[in-house]
Amino acid sequence: MDQPHHVIVSCTRLPQQVARLRHFGAARLRRWGLVDCVETAELLISELVTNAVRYGEGDEVGFSLSHEKGEVRIEVSDGAPGRPTVRRPPPGEESGRGMLIVDALAEDWGTSRDGKRTWCTLTVPKT
């Protein structure tokens, strides 16, 4: 039986959910046969979900993962209307590089009009 090419889950806005959603996303990509993009997707999921946990509003984080026509799309909603920005913190600063990483690794990224959902895409490598 074919697996759906789109999954949506939500969870409480707690730090331990970062690892949970990263593992969930990696498992789903493997199930879809997209093993070549798992490592990059795990890092992107971690960064987007971490931002949602840290800066989101409300009790829940929404997570969506889909693939179609050679592209994987990751979406995270956090209930906060602000848009993330790409920062370039000084070398000694321990945080603030999440969106810089997303910008470097994703094919594309952006936010919904209301800023409550951040998404990014990956091109699936041809095997």
Q: Model-level pTM greater than 0.85?
A: yes
Question: pLDDT-based confidence at 4, cuts 50/70/90?
Answer: low
Contacts of 53 (CB under 8 A, 6+ apart): 13, 14, 15, 17, 18, 61, 78
What pLDDT sits at residue 105? Answer: 95
Position 21 in a domain: yes
Contacts of 50 (CB under 8 A, 6+ apart): 18, 98
Q: What is the pLDDT of residues 50-73, one digit of tens each?
A: 999 999 998 999 999 999 988 999
Position 1 in a domain: no
Position 109 in a domain: yes
The CATH number of the domain where 54 resides is what?
Answer: 3.30.565.10
Neighbouring C-beta atoms of residue 106, cutoff 10 Å = 24
Domain count for the chain, please give it.
1
pLDDT at 38 over 60: yes
Domain of residue 80, residue span: 6-123
